[in-house]
Amino acid sequence: AATAPRIPSTRLALHYFDTSYSPHLGALWPSVRAGLLCEQKYGALLNNFAAADHVPQELELLNATDFVSEAPQKAQQWQRGAAVGEAARGCQEGSAEGRTVTRAEMMTQAEMSQPLCPSISSKIKCYTFPRGDITRFRPARPDALGLLDYYLMDAASLLPVLALNVQPDDFVLDLCAAPGGKTLALLQTGFCGHLAANDISISRTKRLYQILQSYVPKEVRDTVSVTSYDGREWDQVKCGTFHKVLVDVPCTTDRHSVMEEDNNIFHRRRTKERQMLPMLQLQLLMAGILAAKPGGELVYSTCSLSPLQNECVVE
């Protein structure tokens, strides 16, 4: 072991992704691979609690746009394109089968997937720069009360929050909450009757406290309970009490794994921990299900492309 070549964890991660993701993603993998290896671009999640009405105009002058409000239009364009492609393929297949695809069927296919809930998407605003624009956002600034005007985060991290579709007065559980970006986004909706934010790591929970203090007024913080329980045992704390549950599980964190040596799960000493991730994820998902009320809703999410950590866990 002492004389064996020391291969960086980032290279081990990239080799693993090349061998496992390439067959899974096929022709998409080269562009996805390039994306993983690019410097991370952040989005600016506007803080609705701060007195910062000037910030949207300031960001728009820099050519940044709110990707949440643009999403429904882009989704509809994509759906129509997919429907037309499906219709064309159906017509080609139908020539042999004597079947035609009508315009009504094409529209039905285009409208099957509904855009983001308007009530949620109107509350959450996250500005991003266009593709190819690597402009950096300025550091967040405090308002007169000391609340920062926006929070810099990976914009894709908002997607699980939007999918959760929180409704007014919902009791919400964020089972793996730290460092706190999704917790903050949930509060931006203004709909949480009570929000339980839990994370097993005490050090990461301290970071969550810091974010809440920097962005959220005290009267809203009073509706949030922050805990450091083992999420797998949450059902022993409060079972069947939440309308909405977000289970954003620990994972291989693919971008971090190919970019950073620090705390890299592909380090040789963490092989066993990495191999056990799907079981940990399954246990957290089951605990989240048990925490939900009958008829409640749960979103399971990762920041990994691995089918073992996504589809297989859900199945």
178 marked as part of a ligand binding site = yes
DSSP string, 33-83: HHHHHSPPPPEEEE-TTSS-TTHHHHHHHTT-EEHHHHHHHHHHHHHHHHH
Q: 239 an active-site residue?
A: no
**Cα 266 from Cα 276, distance rounded (Å):** 13
**Cα 197 from Cα 128, distance rounded (Å):** 26
Identify the CA nearest to 170 among candidates 25, 285, 299. Answer: 299
179 marked as part of a ligand binding site = yes
**Cα 174 from Cα 183, distance rounded (Å):** 7
230 marked as part of a ligand binding site = yes
199 marked as part of a ligand binding site = yes
**Cα 115 from Cα 95, distance rounded (Å):** 33
Total length of the chain = 315
**Cα 58 from Cα 156, distance rounded (Å):** 22
180 marked as part of a ligand binding site = yes
56 marked as part of a ligand binding site = no
248 marked as part of a ligand binding site = yes
Tokens 């099957």 found at? 112
**Cα 147 from Cα 217, distance rounded (Å):** 8
- Say which of 126, 192, 251, 303 is annotated catalytic: 303
Binding-site entries? 176-182, 199, 230, 248
Residues involved in catalysis: 303
User: Binding site membership for S-adenosyl-L-methionine: which residues?
Assistant: 176-182, 199, 230, 248
